[in-house]
Amino acid sequence: MDLGWQCYLPGQSPLWNNEVRTNGVSNCDSATNWRPLYSLPNGTAFVDSTDATTYRVKAMDAQSELASVNVSNCTDIPVTNAPAIVSYTAADIPTVALTWSDLPTVSAANTIKYIHGVEQ
């Protein structure tokens, strides 16, 4: 949206400068760091002046979470409008051949010892 940037110019005052371009050349060519000129919170609305389309800000490092619906367990979540691909049943889930009881017992006597990555 070209809302502007600031650049960090070491040894100059002020250290953070608004980027300005003149004839295609930036005053921040020697910058060592950059940051947005404006801090816009998530959800800030921008309205396109040509067609009145509304755009909303979404920060690159922001996290989105589902809202709480106060359900006690998954059976309370309605799936009547779910796509057909979600139509799995218990019969569709294959059995697992290996269980925890089938795994070998690991003790200090049957482990390989390594010192600095070299098997001893």
Domains contained in the chain, number: 1
Q: Answer whether residue 15 is part of any domain.
A: yes
Q: Which residues of 26-43 are buried (b: 16+ CB within 10 A; e: fewer)?
A: eebeebeeeeeeeeeeee
When mean pLDDT is compared across 10-14, 89-93, 110-114, the lowest value belongs to 89-93
Confidence of residue 51 (pLDDT cuts 50, 70, 90): very high
Domain membership flag for residue 108: no
Reading the block at residue 27, the tokens are 């005053």
Mean pLDDT for 71-75 is 59
Residue 65 CA from chain centroid, whole number: 11
R_g (Cα) of the chain, nearest Å: 29
Q: Which of 55, 18, 54, 12 is nearest to 36 (CA)?
A: 18
Is the residue at 83 inside a domain?
A: no
Q: What are phi and psi of 114, to 5 degrees?
A: -125, 140
Dihedrals phi, psi of 16, to nearest 5 degrees: -95, 125
Query: Would 33 be classed as within a structural domain?
Result: yes
Q: What is the pTM of this model?
A: 0.37
For the segment 42-59, the average pLDDT, to the nearest whole number, is 85
Q: Would you say 17 and 27 are in contact if contact means Cβ atoms under 8 Å apart?
A: yes
Q: Which domain holds residue 33?
A: 5-56
- pLDDT per position as a tens digit, 75-108: 655 666 666 665 556 666 677 777 777 777 777 7
Residue 73 located in a structural domain: no
Residue 77: inside a domain: no
